[in-house]
Structure 1
């Protein structure tokens, strides 16, 4: 069907490639963010397992979301489908099947991971129920569209072999309208869910005890989240504008590159946004130990305590040693003569007794008081 439509309205074979169709553009726009997202996931997993020792479902799903590749670029992506050899097109469709199904599945994984992460913050109250509701709805959405993406035809190989003896639906391109509606509906819901998931933590700004450092950190994370939502909107626009690569003429390899670039950027930035709050405090602390020096002030004071009606200070001990008799052993070792030492004198020191028995009231100025303030359990913790 696609070949017949192309032959009826063939594209110009000499049409210059748009910038986003070029191999260097595709590679340059996706690989750096792919590497950064892999590093973010590795840091996140290391912190959760080795340092915090508290891995959870959010870490599991973010790892699943990070497993992806840009596969079809060597098999016709960015060039006109009509002028691509049939054998190359079969490989392209096979790899595109994997790439598209991975994107749809990973889009669900990263949202589920973020919601599990929010459940660590919102321990009770309305926001916890909001997160749980979204978790159920988004999980159902992800499972439904992932099933359509991974099983577009029966048998599946008919998706790229096209012998005509199979039953296809949705993304399997049984007909053009159902194919376009499936892609547009998934992209529209993906945009809505992105916006909802990244808007949930905005409620944390209402906390009165936020420090400037906390606010700046949250602003940085939400800025990345807003960028993810913007890319999701842009991706939906490209799909609607070309009717899922079928308008003004059907050419999947020619109209798809910009959409695929935006898909990769959306997932990569979402993974980075989800991982930054986990590893960044540890990384910041490590950098501070390397590059920041601290000023240390050391002060001392004499211990003064009324003992038997006179001032008792540590320097009195030094003076008593200095004024002892000239016994040679005593002079060398600075130990007082055996007959002048009370072995249990330190137990009679009222200051020491006050520290051992903080509830005693017999020593003036040496009391220890403890005050414990309680407050209602917050509905969320930062």
Structure 2
């Protein structure tokens, strides 16, 4: 920021000092470090798990990795960096009124610089991942053409805003060092002027929300495909539901910044209202990563889950062995137990019809009937688990 920018900010600082906010008033809940942790961390963990399952499916099970996997991996790394530095910024003073942290402002702005730049690049990477994923689905036709056009727009948009976020000043240290001599050359995100910085933030938030909606609308055409099964409709509905949450978070992020626009001096108290904007930013990215990964790993999860269920009902008869004549079996006592009445389990993947089990010093077990069943079957005998 140059000297002219400092001259613009000084009257604002002086005006804040004339009518300072009450130092003893409670700050909003969202500005607390504990709130930031509680709101963002669970969804951050879910997004990391989702990407881990996605990469495992693509690399190990399907063995068909693509560029969409590369960009989602970059996105999750940048998301980790962005959310970590956001929390560091809250610790350093973001969330407090500007005039009360002037001494700590340079350190707080270092954290904010990385958080803002990482968030900006993450939004680009996750959109690219989704679009490249669409291109694997749409091999031809008008949907592929539309997807390619959107890809070109996102590349240009993302490259421009990412550059401005990572290089808001020349040198970059001018972003947080406002007393640098000679003064740094800043623009856009670099707070050369208060109006320019505000307009840049709103321009990015608005265009980001618009592109989120556009990327979300592209696969909606799948709803109009003929002969869709009920499970497919439900799966797509769940996926689009997560996509709607992404758009909602983008809208709330834009709203949380706009609501302070034209509200006098508080508009320039950006360290005070930034946490709300950044929380919505974190949630937007987390849900976007989950949304991009679910179609890849969810079918494998469902298939693996179904494998632990046996869809047969097993009736077991117990026949005691005659110790004097090991070749004959005497029906000294016969009991029957249906597997759906058992609370323990025998897990099998194939039919056990006609199979017998014999364990020394234990009764002979013979499967004599198999019927369809839709619940888990597991059985143990005398503390010894019996498996096929």
TM-score, length-normalised on structure 2?
Answer: 0.73
Partner of 1:78: 95
Identify which of 44, 61, 68 aligns with 2:54: 44
Partner of 1:89: 105
Q: Return the alpha-carbon distance in structure 1 between the equivalents of residues 22 and 267 of structure 2.
A: 11
Identify which of 279, 287, 307 aligns with 1:261: 279
Deviation at 1:209, TM superposition (A): 2.1
Deviation at 1:54, TM superposition (A): 0.5
Partner of 1:332: none
Deviation at 1:244, TM superposition (A): 10
Q: Which has the larger radius of gyration?
A: 1
Q: Return the alpha-carbon distance in structure 2 between the equivalents of residues 81 and 184 of structure 1.
A: 20
Partner of 1:23: 33
Q: Return the alpha-carbon distance in structure 2 between the equivalents of residues 205 and 135 of structure 1.
A: 22
Residues 107-166 of structure 1: CA deviation (Å, up to 9, x unaligned): 011011000000111110000000000000011000000111011011110111112511
Over the aligned positions, Cα root-mean-square deviation in angstroms equals 1.8
Identify which of 288, 302, 320 aligns with 1:284: 302
- Mean Cα displacement is larger for which, 112-121 or 163-172? 163-172
Identify which of 90, 115, 123 aligns with 2:139: 123
Q: SS in structure 1 opposite 2:98?
A: coil
- Equivalent pairs counted in the alignment come to 295
Q: Return the alpha-carbon distance in structure 1 between the equivalents of residues 189 and 156 of structure 2.
A: 18
Residues 224-271 of structure 1: CA deviation (Å, up to 9, x unaligned): 001111111111111111239985342222110110000000000000
Identify which of 20, 23, 29 aligns with 1:13: 23
Partner of 1:202: 220
Deviation at 1:3, TM superposition (A): 5.3
Structure with the bigger RCO (C-alpha within 8 Å, sep 6+) is 1
Q: Return the alpha-carbon distance in structure 1 between the equivalents of residues 138 and 313 of structure 2.
A: 39
Deviation at 1:13, TM superposition (A): 1.4
**Which one has a larger percent strand, Structure 1 or Structure 2?**
2
For the pair 1:100 / 2:100, whether they are aligned, the reply is no
Deviation at 1:169, TM superposition (A): 0.3
For the pair 1:154 / 2:142, whether they are aligned, the reply is no
TM-score, length-normalised on structure 1?
Answer: 0.74
Q: Return the alpha-carbon distance in structure 1 between the equivalents of residues 300 and 66 of structure 2.
A: 18
Q: Return the alpha-carbon distance in structure 2 between the equivalents of residues 234 and 21 of structure 1.
A: 16
Moved over 3 A (4+): 1-4, 243-247
Identify which of 219, 238, 242 aligns with 1:220: 238
Residues 297-325 of structure 1: CA deviation (Å, up to 9, x unaligned): 9xxxxxxxxxxxxxxxxxxxxxxxxxxxx
Residues 316-365 of structure 1: CA deviation (Å, up to 9, x unaligned): xxxxxxxxxxxxxxxxxxxxxxxxxxxxxxxxxxxxxxxxxxxxxxxxxx
Deviation at 1:294, TM superposition (A): 1.5
Deviation at 1:272, TM superposition (A): 0.1
Q: Return the alpha-carbon distance in structure 2 between the equivalents of residues 149 and 244 of structure 1.
A: 24
Q: Return the alpha-carbon distance in structure 2 between the equivalents of residues 22 and 247 of structure 1.
A: 22
Q: Return the alpha-carbon distance in structure 2 between the equivalents of residues 41 and 216 of structure 1.
A: 22
Q: SS in structure 2 opposite 1:210?
A: coil
Identify which of 311, 314, 317 aligns with 1:294: 311
Q: Return the alpha-carbon distance in structure 2 between the equivalents of residues 61 and 287 of structure 1.
A: 28
Partner of 1:357: none
Deviation at 1:24, TM superposition (A): 1.4
Deviation at 1:73, TM superposition (A): 2.1
Partner of 1:240: 258
Q: Return the alpha-carbon distance in structure 1 between the equivalents of residues 208 and 10 of structure 2.
A: 30
Q: Return the alpha-carbon distance in structure 1 between the equivalents of residues 237 and 112 of structure 2.
A: 36
Describe how 1:327-346 pairs up with structure 2 within 5 A.
Answer: none
Q: Runs of 5+ in structure 2 lacking a partner?
A: 1-5, 315-388
